[in-house]
Amino acid sequence: MTVSVDEIRQAMKTLARAIKTQPYGEQLWPIFERLERELKAAEDKEARLKTALEYEPKN
């Protein structure tokens, strides 16, 4: 299953609210950190694909 960058960002926003407002918020930090890593990986992947698709050989 593929998750989009927007879906990860939305999940992070929802989780951030829970961390700030819920008494158990601190327990959610490992999940938030995992989402941060997943977001970076997804953004890096998109950037690499964009670079490859924009490649123009020099003649």
Q: Residue 45 has what pLDDT?
A: 93
Per DSSP, 22 falls in state S
Q: Residue 59 has what pLDDT?
A: 77
Q: Residue 2 has what pLDDT?
A: 86
Q: Residue 42 has what pLDDT?
A: 94
pLDDT tens for each residue of 3-26: 899 999 999 999 999 999 999 999
Is residue 33 scored above 90 in pLDDT?
Answer: yes
Q: Residue 38 has what pLDDT?
A: 96
19-30 as b/e: b if 16+ CB within 10 A: beeeeeeeeeee
